[in-house]
Amino acid sequence: MVDHGKAFVTVPCVDDLLALKNELSSAGVIAKVHAPRPISVREVRDRTKLSQEAFSARYGLDLATLRNWEQGRLKPDAAVNTLLWTIARNPEAVEESLDMEDGVAAPSP
């Protein structure tokens, strides 16, 4: 899909991502990974200086699931990794976007 001069494509399996990026670069295409890398849930939570209970409440996460992620029993999916990266980089933006008392109506489906 092309959007404002950018194209987003899914590449399901690549043996050598750097080689693919170099090959695309030689054709004049700038390739960037547009998927969140795994991030340590515990490290993100520690950065916020919140307990598991407070972190799960503040960011709308299930406490038991959060504990399972931190203990390695489960791995966050791509959507959760995106949320975690956003919390790590800009926790205030996430808090603001989750504030349902600001009077802004949710978009219609």
The CATH number corresponding to 41-98 among 3.40.50.1820, 3.90.550.10, 1.10.260.40, 3.40.50.2000 equals 1.10.260.40
Distance of CA 98 to the CA centre of its chain: 15
The domain limits of the chain are: 1-34, 41-98
Nearest to 75, CA basis, from 31, 36, 20:
36
Give pLDDT, residue 1: 46
Distance of CA 100 to the CA centre of its chain: 21
Give pLDDT, residue 91: 93
Check if the beta carbon of residue 51 is closer than 8 Å to that of residue 6.
no
Q: Which amino acid appears at position 90 of this protein?
A: N
Sorted by sequence, the CB contacts under 8 Å of residue 82 that are 6+ apart come out as: 36
Q: What is the CA radius of gyration of the chain?
A: 18
Give pLDDT, residue 104: 58
Query: Which DSSP string corresponds to 70-88?
Result: HTTSS---HHHHHHHHHHH
Give pLDDT, residue 9: 75
Q: Which residues of the chain fall short of a pLDDT of 70?
A: 1-4, 34-35, 100, 102-109
Give pLDDT, residue 24: 87
Give pLDDT, residue 98: 87
